[in-house]
Structure 1
Amino acid sequence: MRIARKLSVTGAALMVAMSSASAASLSVGLQDDPDALDPAQGGTYAGRIVFEAMCDKLVDLNKDLQIVPKLATEWSWNEDSTQLTFKLREGVVYHDGSKFDAASVKANIERMQSLEDSKRKGELSPIKEVEVVDSQTVVFKLEAPFAPLLSVLTDRAGMMVSTSAAEAAGDGFAASPVCSGPFKFVERIARDSIKLEKFADYWNADAIGYDSIQYLILPDSTVRLSRLQAGDLDIAERIAPTDLQTLKDDDRLALHESPGLGVSHLFINVREDSGSALATQPQLRKALELSLDRNAINQVAFNGAFTADNQMLTPLSPFHSKDMAMPVRDVEQAKELIVQSGVEAPTIEITYENSLTDGRVAQMIQAMAGEAGFKVELLPLETSSAIERYLAGNFQLYIGNWSGRADPDPTLNTFFGSKGSQNLNGYSNPELDKLLADARTEVRQEERVALYSKINEILLGDLPTIPLYHPSWIYGARANVDGIEIYPDGLLRVTGLKPSN
Structure 2
Amino acid sequence: MKRLALGMVATFFLAACAGGGGGTTNSAGTPKAGGTLKIALESELRTLDPLKSSQRVERQVYYNMYDSLVTIDPSLKIKPGLATAWQYSDSTTLQFTLRQGVKFHDGTDFNGDAVKFNIDRILNAASSPRKSELASVKSVEVKDASTVIFHLKKPDAALLAQLVDRAGMILSPAAIAKGGADFGLNPLGAGTGPFAFVDWKRDDHLTLKKNPSYWISGRPYLDGLIYRPITDSSSALAALRTGDIDVAGTNAIADKDVVSVKSDSSLIYKDAAGLSFGGFEVNNASGVFADKAKRQAVALALDRAQIVKNVFFDIHVLSNGPIPPTSWAYDSSERLYAKPDVAKAKSMASGFSFGMKTPNTPGSIQEATLIKDQLSKADITVNIQVEEFGQVLNDAEAHKFDAALVGWSGRIDPDGNMFGWFHTGGGFNDGQYSNPQVDTLLE
Measured against aligned partners, the alpha-carbon deviations of 1:46-82 in whole angstroms (never above 9, x if no partner) come to 1101101000111112222211111111111123x11
8 Å CA contact 1:34, 1:45 repeated in 2? no
The answer to whether 1:69 aligns with 2:75 is no
Q: Provide closer, same or farther for how the CA distance between residues 141 and 76 of structure 1 changes in structure 2, counting only shifts above 3 A.
A: same
Q: Which has the higher contact order (CA 8 A, sep 6+)?
A: 2
User: Residue 388 of structure 1: CA displacement?
Assistant: 2.0
Q: Which moved more, 1:318-327 or 1:127-136?
A: 318-327
Superposed, 1:224-303 pairs within 5 Å as 224-237=236-249, 238=251, 239-272=253-286, 274=287, 276=288, 278-280=289-291, 282-303=292-313
Q: Specify the alignment match of 2:392 in structure 1.
A: 386
Q: Which of 364, 367, 373 matches 2:373?
A: 367
**Larger relative helix fraction:** 1
Amino acid at match of 1:402: W
Q: Specify the alignment match of 2:359 in structure 1.
A: 353
Amino acid at match of 1:74: A
8 Å CA contact 2:211, 2:220 repeated in 1? no
Q: Which of 176, 196, 199 matches 1:187?
A: 199
Tell me, what secondary structure is at the counterpart of 2:102?
A: coil
Q: Equivalent pairs: percent with the same residue? A: 33
User: Residue 381 of structure 1: CA displacement?
Assistant: 1.2
Q: Specify the alignment match of 1:29 in structure 2.
A: 40
Q: Provide closer, same or farther for how the CA distance between residues 117 and 332 of structure 1 changes in structure 2, counting only shifts above 3 A.
A: closer
Q: Which moved more, 1:154-163 or 1:344-353?
A: 344-353
Measured against aligned partners, the alpha-carbon deviations of 1:194-232 in whole angstroms (never above 9, x if no partner) come to 000001111115131100100001111111111000011
Tell me, what secondary structure is at the counterpart of 1:297?
A: helix
Task: Please give the alpha-carbon distance, in whole angstroms, between the structure 1 residues aligned to 2:245 and 2:113.
Answer: 40
TM-score (norm 2): 0.88
Q: Provide closer, same or farther for how the CA distance between residues 117 and 199 of structure 1 changes in structure 2, counting only shifts above 3 A.
A: farther
Amino acid at match of 1:104: A
Q: Specify the alignment match of 2:230 in structure 1.
A: 218
Tell me, what secondary structure is at the counterpart of 2:332?
A: coil
User: Residue 258 of structure 1: CA displacement?
Assistant: 1.5
8 Å CA contact 1:119, 1:421 repeated in 2? yes
Q: Which of 313, 319, 338 matches 1:327?
A: 338
8 Å CA contact 1:153, 1:159 repeated in 2? yes
Which consecutive unaligned segments of at least 5 residues does structure 1 have?
1-20, 339-343, 438-501
Q: Provide closer, same or farther for how the CA distance between residues 91 and 285 of structure 1 changes in structure 2, counting only shifts above 3 A.
A: same
Q: Specify the alignment match of 2:219 in structure 1.
A: 207
Q: What's the C-alpha RMSD, in Å, of the aligned pairs?
A: 1.7
Task: Please give the alpha-carbon distance, in whole angstroms, between the structure 1 residues aligned to 2:315 and 2:305.
Answer: 11
Q: Which moved more, 1:282-291 or 1:87-96?
A: 282-291
Q: Specify the alignment match of 2:95 in structure 1.
A: 85
Task: Please give the alpha-carbon distance, in whole angstroms, between the structure 1 residues aligned to 2:217 and 2:50.
Answer: 22
Q: Which of 111, 115, 125 matches 1:105?
A: 115
Measured against aligned partners, the alpha-carbon deviations of 1:89-112 in whole angstroms (never above 9, x if no partner) come to 122110011111122111221122
Task: Please give the alpha-carbon distance, in whole angstroms, between the structure 1 residues aligned to 2:76 and 2:419.
Answer: 20
Task: Please give the alpha-carbon distance, in whole angstroms, between the structure 2 residues aligned to 1:118 and 1:284.
Answer: 31
Structure of greater Rg: 1
User: Residue 295 of structure 1: CA displacement?
Assistant: 1.2
Which consecutive unaligned segments of at least 5 residues does structure 2 have?
1-31
Task: Please give the alpha-carbon distance, in whole angstroms, between the structure 1 residues aligned to 2:70 and 2:389.
Answer: 31
The answer to whether 1:176 aligns with 2:190 is no
Amino acid at match of 1:154: V
Q: Which moved more, 1:109-118 or 1:131-140?
A: 109-118
User: Residue 309 of structure 1: CA displacement?
Assistant: 2.3
Q: Tell me the matched-pair count.
A: 407
